[in-house]
């Protein structure tokens, strides 16, 4: 009889403990993998103007480096779909008493905006009261344009290598010791929701080592880039 009472007490105690034990939390679903950045998915046409306010460092024939502040004004046109496009740009800059910088180029864009490779050709000129020197330039580079959700904002980064064979020579000598440089910029674009207008703010730098024979005149133009214009599509 006593053994039955003890067994009954243990059963009651076990039942109470089981009722008080917390229920096992349901297994949580694994977190979804982050989505890759998304570039514009629609065809885009953009035309606008911009200004770069900054400085130019210039060194002619190993003389002392001169630095002057000034500005570059430019116009750009972009026409592209999801896999290819064309970009055209023209620039003109004045920095104190240094030679005026004038350039224009056209680029063919390949692959989606989120990761694009491009190649193009253009001309770059240094113009002063004494003379104007023109360089034929070939370029190649990469760029990336990414939408920031549905905010109307997008980021853009671009970098290119510039090469200009020496004029007045042919064959292998034409590409020996060419003028070389880089062109890079980073910017944020804002597209207004109800009108086809955009604003842009960024930073641009260009380095070019102009060569004439054995004389090299390296220069660097850099500064804050602001602009705006008309844009259709590109969302």
- Please state, rounded to an integer, the average pLDDT across all residues of the chain: 84
pLDDT in tens, 197-221: 999 999 999 999 988 777 888 999 9
In which residue are the tokens 């853009």 written?
A: 156
Query: What fold does the segment set 44-233 form as a domain?
Result: Lipocalin (2.40.128)
Q: Quick check: pTM over 0.85?
A: no
Query: 76 vs 3, 35, 151, CA distance in Å?
Result: 96, 32, 24
Return the C-alpha torsion angle 66, 103, 72, 119, nearest 10.
-110
**Structure tokens that stand for 30 in this block:** 């694994």
| Arithmetic mean of pLDDT, 75-97 | 95
| Arithmetic mean of pLDDT, 191-197 | 94
Query: Is 57 in contact with 219 (CB distance < 8 Å)?
Result: yes
Question: Which of 21-35, 52-66, 98-112, 126-140 is the least confident region?
Answer: 21-35
**Structure tokens that stand for 135 in this block:** 């360089």
pLDDT in tens, 41-51: 578 999 999 99
Residue 102: what pLDDT?
A: 94
Looking at beta carbons, which pairs linking 20-27 to residues 24 or more positions away fall under 8 Å?
Answer: none
pLDDT in tens, 140-180: 999 999 999 889 999 999 999 999 998 765 555 555 789 99
For residues 235 and 79, the model is more confident at 79
């Amino acid at each position: 009889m006593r053994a039955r009472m003890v067994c009954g007490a243990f059963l009651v105690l076990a039942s109470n403990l089981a009722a008080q034990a917390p229920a096992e939390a349901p297994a949580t679903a694994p977190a979804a993998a982050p989505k890759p950045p998304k570039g514009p998915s629609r065809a885009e046409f953009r035309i606008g103007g911009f200004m770069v306010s900054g400085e130019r460092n210039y060194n002619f024939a190993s003389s002392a480096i001169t630095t002057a502040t000034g500005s570059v004004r430019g116009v750009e046109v972009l026409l592209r779909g999801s896999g290819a496009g064309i970009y055209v740009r023209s620039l003109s800059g004045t920095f104190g008493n240094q030679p005026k910088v004038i350039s224009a180029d056209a680029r063919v864009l390949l692959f989606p905006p989120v990761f694009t490779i491009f190649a193009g050709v253009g001309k770059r000129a240094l113009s002063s009261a004494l003379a104007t020197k023109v360089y034929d330039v070939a370029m190649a580079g990469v760029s990336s344009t990414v939408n920031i959700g549905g905010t109307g904002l997008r980021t853009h980064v671009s970098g290119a290598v510039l090469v200009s064979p020496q004029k007045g020579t042919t064959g292998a000598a034409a590409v020996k010791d060419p003028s070389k440089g880089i062109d890079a910029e980073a910017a944020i674009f804002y597209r207004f929701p109800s009108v086809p207008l955009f604003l842009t703010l960024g930073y641009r730098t260009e380095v070019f080592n102009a060569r004439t024979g054995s004389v090299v005149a390296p220069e660097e133009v850099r500064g804050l880039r602001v602009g705006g214009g008309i844009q259709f599509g590109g969302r």
